[in-house]
Structure 1
């Protein structure tokens, strides 16, 4: 058995949101190393160009396309530019997320609620829907939604963020159930504490970190590369009979 073929993404095109840093960028690099052409997207074109050039310097095929996924009017352009550049979309990773508040849920404003839901739920819904005509043409189409352990059990201080990630898990299952007949698999990854800038307020605080470690079987924060490796499994032929699944990568926090 040729395991390199099972995990190969040769000939595939992957679109990854929130991919100028952290988990999204790690997913992009791992996909590119597996042979995929990757489109990385976030809000700032200059940052994307820098990251795409870094990937190209390693011999990978990468393009940066700026898009604020919280603005629904920009999403069709992201899809169109990806197809114009590479002719297809085989893999979509909805990784972009927003959490502008930390504290009691009753102190969350409607403005913050709307922003969280727009980026974390509405954008994955709409972008996935827009990619459907292209995904259904693929021989192994895969949509990967990056949720959170907060979507399984709400995290203190992250109330509406947790609600949005629970909704994303449900959306994952809805798409998986409806699109299986079109040959499109849809799965979710729920990271725990991953050492990225997005979660820096947690892992950089010694008191909070010590409290978290007490509940972890693996006594450390995770890395973005570990999430990228799980995403590779879900993007490749290795997971060809897997859809509607919710994978945790949290050091045992949810055991």
Structure 2
């Protein structure tokens, strides 16, 4: 049985933890040659070693996704190594929580939008010329259900993820005829460094999840794999919600 991403070259940002980490391992198992990006070089190298020990192909490029020069270097490294870029998973992100009137413009707003929104714009801009030349490609942007329902005390985060939802739809319409599909994955409550297992945040948020638990990062990665692969060939501008039912019920009742 052929692997779903056999011989595909995939760039994954935010790869050293959580959803990005799980996505990197899953993509490599499915045959992708993964180019992993993140700020923590030691964790990135450990992940590469793990993937290679399982028979996969991976390289790590230390990257601050808020810096254009780093993003240019990431894309050039992938293209120089493999000669093409088939998949981009924009996954780097930060969750900020605060009382709105106490918001720090730089720490809370600018930091959130620079990573959660601007870095996605810039990286897509660097990758798309390769995909246009190939007449093929798949981009998956990690948004959040916070971008469609809003999360109290997380106005900058929710606004940033809402921006990614509309960015995805706009870009999808622009590049579909070039053979490039752009979609988004919208996770609900997911265990990660931002939402540790057993944390107060998790306990409070689980109340609004009908399935009664947070997602494992691997469950979100499975949705990302579907959107990145040819199995979703008719998905263009799709925002795939993976949230345990959180957006399917009236949380007031």
Q: Shorter chain as normaliser: what TM range?
A: over 0.9
Match of 1:111 in 2: 106
CA contact (8 A) 2:191 2:215 kept: yes
- In structure 1, stretches of 5+ residues that fail to align are none
Match of 2:205 in 1: 212
**CA–CA separation in structure 2 for the residues paired with 1:80 and 1:209:** 39
CA contact (8 A) 1:25 1:40 kept: no
User: Are 2:233 and 1:240 equivalent residues in the alignment?
Assistant: yes
Distance 1:210 1:114, change over 3 A: closer
Distance 1:50 1:211, change over 3 A: closer
The equivalent position to 1:84 in structure 2, one of 76, 80, 86, is 80
TM-score by length of 1: 0.92
The DSSP-based 3-state class of the residue aligned with 1:15 is strand
Deviates more, 1:10-19 or 1:38-47: 38-47
**CA–CA separation in structure 1 for the residues paired with 2:227 and 2:199:** 33
- In structure 2, stretches of 5+ residues that fail to align are 249-253
Match of 2:157 in 1: 161
Match of 1:253 in 2: 246
Q: Which runs of 4+ in 1 moved over 3 A?
A: 137-140, 208-211
Q: CA RMSD in A?
A: 1.5
Deviates more, 1:172-181 or 1:109-118: 109-118
5 Å-filtered alignment, 1:39-188, equals 39-99=35-95, 101-112=96-107, 113-138=109-134, 140-188=136-184
**CA–CA separation in structure 2 for the residues paired with 1:127 and 1:210:** 35
- Deviation at residue 184 of structure 1 after TM alignment: 0.5
> What is the number of equivalent residue pairs in this alignment?
247
The equivalent position to 1:29 in structure 2, one of 17, 20, 25, is 25
Match of 2:251 in 1: none
